[in-house]
Structure 1
Amino acid sequence: MFWDDMELQMFLMILFLCLNSKVCESRVNHKPPCGYPPSQWCRSLEIAIECGVQKQCLELNATRLTATVPPVEVTLYYESLCPGCRSFITQQLYPTWTLLKDIMRVNLVPYGNAQEMQNMVICQHGEPECHGNMIEACILHTSSNEAFHIINCMESASNVLTAAQPCLQLFAPTITWETISACVRGPLGRSLIHENGAKTRALNPKHTHVPWVTFNGVYTNEWEDQAMSSLFHLVCSLYKGTKPPACTGVLQKLDRSFC
C-alpha cells in the first residue's frame, strides 16, 4: 500500500497524539474493528467516531495551519534541459516545497523559450529538449500527485531523458511508461505543450529568460533575485497565515517518549 504525504503525516500525527491511549494502541497494533486503515481515520467525523478516535482527530485538526489562509502559489516557467532551470528545481524549488508544502503550492510549466511555428515547436536546446518538455507535461497531466517527485528525479539525473522511465517507476509504479509514451506521441501531448506555450506567452510582463518564477501570479525582479538565492525565506515571508515552525525557527516543546 502506498500513502501520499498527507496520509502519512496524518498517520504519524495520530500515532504521536495517542501514544498513551489504550484505544489507539489497540488500533495501531491490530486491524481496526471499524474496517478503515489508520491513514483514513480522520477523513470524516463519521469514520473517526466509528474507529473510536474522534478525540485524537480533533487534536490533530487543531495542530494544522489555518485552512482559510491560501498557500503561496509558486509557478515556474522553465525548459527541461536548461542548466539554470535544472539547478533551480533541484537546489531551490524542490527542497523548499519538501519543507513548506503545507504553505506553498507549486505549478510547473515546461515550455520556456520555445516557439510554435506552423504546427511545429522549436526549442532553445533542440529537439531533445522539446521531447523532454513533452514528457514532463505528460507526467504532470497523468500523475498529478507524484509529478513533482518524478520531475525532480529527472532533472537531478545526468541525463534527463533516459532518467524519465526509471523515475516514473520509482515514484508512480502504478503508471506504465506506455501511458506516458502514448501521451507524448499523440494529440494529448501536443495539446499540453500548446497550452503551456499559451500560458507562457500570456505572461505580463513577458518573460525574457528562464527560469521565470511568479508568486501568486505576480513577477518582480526583486522576488526573482530572492528566489534564486533563498526561495525558502521568500516563501515564508510571503505567507500571510501563522508561520510554521520551519519558518520561525521557534522551538516547540512536545510530549515525547524515548526508547
Structure 2
Amino acid sequence: MIDVMAVKYIILFSACIVLALTQDSGLQTVNGRIKITVGTTAGCSDTVNFINNQLIPTVEAYGDFLDIEFVPWGRATWVDNEISCQFGVNDCWANRLHRCVLDKLKNDQAAQLHYMACEFSTPYPSYLQGTYLCVQAFGLNLLDVDYCVANPKDNLDREALEGAVQPIATINFVPYIIFNDNLNLELHREGFSRLASLVCFALTEDPSTGVTSCSI
C-alpha cells in the first residue's frame, strides 16, 4: 500500500527543490561576468551594512567575475536646481563627493570599491566629518576633487538622478541592488541578504568561470 503522507511529503520536498533551483538560476552571467549596480546614500546605515557585510566579501571571493557600479544618489530629489537628500545637507555633500571621486577613479574598480568602503566605515569621513580623509589615500589631486565638489555644473548629478529614478520607484529601498542592468525586485532582496551565494550559484552555472561549488 502506498503511504499517501509519504508521497505528499516527497512531492512537497521536490517542489521546494525546484523552487530553490529556480531562484538560484534567476541570476545569470553575461559573457562570464556579472554586473552589480548599487544605489547608495551617505547617511544610510543599510548601505553601510551592505557594503561591509555583503559587497566587500563577495568581491573578495569573486571579484574576477564582477563589474561593480555605484550610484550615490539614494532618495534625493532635484527641484529648481536644488538637491534635497534623505539625511540632510551632510548627505548631499558626501554624495556629491562620492560622485566626484568615483568619476576620477572610473578606470580602477578596485580603487572605487576601497574608496567607498572607507567612506562607509568609521569615522564616516565625508558624511560625519565633512573631510577628504578617504580621498587622500588614492593619490588624487585634492584641489581637483574640491573643485568638482564645489562646482556641480557637470553631468554627474544628472546621471546619478537618471540612474536612480526607476530603481527607487520599483525597489523603493536604499541600497538598491541591480544585476546586469535588469531591475528585479526578488534578486535585489536576495542580493541584499546573501549576495555571495547568489553570485556563486550564478557562476557555477557558467562553465567558463571555473567555479564549481558554493556554500549557502
Which residue does 1:82 correspond to in 2? 44
After the TM superposition, which segments of 4 or more aligned residues of structure 1 sit over 6 Å from their partners? none
Look up the match of 1:134: 96
- Aligned-pair distance for 1:164? 5.5
State the AA in 2 paired with 1:184.
V
2:145 aligned partner:
180
Q: What is the aligned partner in structure 2 of residue 212 from structure 1?
A: 176
Match runs of 1:116-131 below 5 Å: 116-131=78-93
**Secondary structure at 2:134's aligned position in 1?**
helix
Counterpart residue number, 2:56? 94
- In the alignment, which of 93, 96, 104 is matched to residue 66 of structure 2? 104
CA offsets, 1:29-67, max 9 Å, x none? xxxxxxxxxxxxxxxxxxxxxxxxxxxxxxxxxxxxxxx
Superposition CA RMSD, Å: 2.3
1:237 aligns with 2:169: no
Structure 2 residue runs of 5 or longer lacking an equivalent are 1-29
CA distance in 2, matches of 1:164, 1:214: 30
SS of the equivalent of 1:248 reads: coil
Match of 1:196 among 150, 160, 163: 160
Percent same amino acid at aligned positions?
23
Is 1:221–2:185 an aligned residue pair?
A: yes
Q: Which amino acid aligns with 1:230?
A: R
Distance 2:176 2:163 in 1: 12
Query: CA 1:106–1:82 in structure 2 vs 1: closer, same or farther (change >3 Å)?
Result: same
Larger radius of gyration: 1
Aligned match for 1:169, one of 136, 143, 159: 136
Q: Answer whether contact 1:74 1:214 (CA < 8 A) is retained.
A: yes
CA distance in 2, matches of 1:204, 1:226: 17
1:154 aligns with 2:154: no
Q: Mark the CA change 1:119 to 1:249 in structure 2 (over 3 Å): closer, same or farther.
A: closer
Cα offset, 1:159, TM superposition: 2.5
Partner amino acid for 2:200?
A: C
Q: Specify the SS of the correspondent of 1:108.
A: strand
Q: TM-score, normalised by structure 1?
A: 0.63
Whole-Å separation in 2 of the counterparts to 1:70 and 1:156: 31
Distance 2:79 2:125 in 1: 25
SS of the residue corresponding to residue 166 of structure 1 reads coil
Counterpart code for 2:50: F
Deviation at 1:177, TM superposition (A): 1.7
Shift in Å, 1:244: 4.2
| Mapping 1:48-63, distance limit 5 Å | none
